[in-house]
Amino acid sequence: MSERVGDDGEGRRGVRAFTPDFLTELFRNPLDPGYADAAAQRAKSGRPARPGWSVGPVSLVLVVLLGFLCAVAYRQTTAEEPGRAQARSGLVAQIKQRQTDTDALSVRADELREEVNRQREAALGGSQAARLRDLEASTGLGRVRGDGVVVRLADGPGGQDSLSGANVGPSQVLYSDLQGVANDLWGAGAEAIAINGQRLTATSTIRNAGQAILVDFRPVTGPYEVSAIGPDSMRKRYESSRSALTMRKVAQDTGLSFGVRDVDDLTLPAAPEPRLRYAEPAVSPSASPSGDDESSGSGTSPSPSGGGR
């Protein structure tokens, strides 16, 4: 046995001189070469190797140390686990708390807006108030009610790749689908549109961030319902629009679901209060480009993505 090992060692050393390939060496001979060297030296000097399973005291100390290390590492890992779970559940609780806060605040904002509207109508009276209401309805700042259509889009059933078993998702609704539907609904004469209860205005954006679709920077999840209030002819005109035809074909081919139906008495909520942006005159005609950067950084000039739709 030791004979064979000695041969191995010599062969390895011979090869090592010619192929200094670390990975090959690592896979072929994982043992520290120092053992073979020490054995060779021992054989030369004639000292006997330790018999059987006995090891030196220093090695024993090291083995004790190894057990100690393993135990400490185990303790450490198990001790960290509840901390991590705690931090995670704490974050989840915080998110939930903030969401309820946001909901309560937006309900309060709606109440206040109603109140403001009531007060304004009382103050203005008559035709001016009516004109204001009409303007608010058409710009998306007021709640509207009426008959219209609901276009429903939903992701197809999650397909699995037969080879890798990974989820493949060609049958997913894309943000561009929602954009197309909304644009064609406007084109078909819609007066107000909301996606999953989120009212669209002239400056609304429909974009995607990773897997999520954002409408006005708020995530919406499938199934997507695009509700539109408009004249009776809207349904017919929309059905012959490009996005309707495309989506029907896509739905046929991929298993994604797409449907248009008439709905009476839809109520669309008001869009959140728009953030007003004010144009500011440049400080001087010789304003440098860096000045422009500054103003866009502080959010006073319209960002290119703000009105992306």
Partner 1 sequence: MIAVLALLAGVVLGLWLDPTVPAALQPYLPIAVVAALDAVFGGVRAKLDRIFDDKQFVVSFISNVLVAALIVYLGDQLGVGGQLSTGVVVVLGVRIFGNVAAIRRHLFRA
- Is residue 56 at the binding interface for partner 1, with CB under 8 A as the rule? yes
- Is residue 87 at the binding interface for partner 1, with CB under 8 A as the rule? no
Whether a cis peptide bond, with omega within 30° of 0, leads into 223 is yes
- Is residue 76 at the binding interface for partner 1, with CB under 8 A as the rule? yes
- Is residue 83 at the binding interface for partner 1, with CB under 8 A as the rule? no
| Contact assessment for residue 307 and residue 203, using Cβ atoms and an 8 Å cutoff | yes
DSSP annotation of 301 reads: S
Among 10, 11, 24, 31, binds partner 1 (CB under 8 A): 31
* Count of chain residues binding partner 1 (CB under 8 A): 42
> Cα–chain-centroid distance for residue 224?
17
Among 38, 85, 130, 202, binds partner 1 (CB under 8 A): 38
Query: Which is closer to partner 1, CB of 40 or CB of 105?
Result: 40
- Is residue 49 at the binding interface for partner 1, with CB under 8 A as the rule? yes
Nearest partner of 216 among 246, 244, 175, judged by Cα? 175
Which of these ranges, 70-78, 107-115, 215-223, 295-303, lies near partner 1 under the rule CB under 8 A?
Answer: 70-78
Site of tokens 């053992």: 35
Evaluated on CA atoms 286, 292, 293, 295, the torsion sign reads: positive
- Is residue 65 at the binding interface for partner 1, with CB under 8 A as the rule? yes
| Contact assessment for residue 184 and residue 200, using Cβ atoms and an 8 Å cutoff | no
- Is residue 116 at the binding interface for partner 1, with CB under 8 A as the rule? no
- Is residue 24 at the binding interface for partner 1, with CB under 8 A as the rule? no
Phi-psi category of 109—alpha, beta or left, where left has phi over 0 and alpha has psi -120 to 50?
A: alpha
Among 13, 50, 96, 108, binds partner 1 (CB under 8 A): 50
| Contact assessment for residue 150 and residue 263, using Cβ atoms and an 8 Å cutoff | yes
User: How far is residue 78's CA from residue 76's CA, in Å, rounded to a whole number?
Assistant: 6
Q: What's the closest the beta carbon of residue 51 comes to partner 1, in angstroms?
A: 10
- Is residue 7 at the binding interface for partner 1, with CB under 8 A as the rule? no
Query: Which is closer to partner 1, CB of 76 or CB of 296?
Result: 76
Q: What's the closest the beta carbon of residue 60 comes to partner 1, in angstroms?
A: 5
Which of these ranges, 35-43, 106-114, 228-236, 243-251, lies near partner 1 under the rule CB under 8 A?
Answer: 35-43
Helical segments of the chain, H only: 2-18, 22-28, 33-45, 57-124, 126-139, 175-187, 234-239, 242-254, 289-297
- Is residue 30 at the binding interface for partner 1, with CB under 8 A as the rule? yes
Among 18, 44, 45, 58, binds partner 1 (CB under 8 A): 58
Among 17, 18, 20, 34, binds partner 1 (CB under 8 A): 34
- Is residue 75 at the binding interface for partner 1, with CB under 8 A as the rule? yes
Query: Which is closer to partner 1, CB of 29 or CB of 183?
Result: 29
> Cα–chain-centroid distance for residue 141?
29
- Is residue 27 at the binding interface for partner 1, with CB under 8 A as the rule? yes
Report the amino acid identity of residue 202.
A
- Is residue 15 at the binding interface for partner 1, with CB under 8 A as the rule? no
Q: How does DSSP assign 140-190, residue by residue?
A: T-S-EEEEEEEEEEEPPP-EE-TTT--EE-SS---HHHHHHHHHHHHHTT-
DSSP annotation of 306 reads: T
Please give the residue ranges that form the binding site for partner 1 (CB under 8 A): 1-2, 5, 26-27, 29-32, 34-39, 42, 49-50, 53-56, 58-77
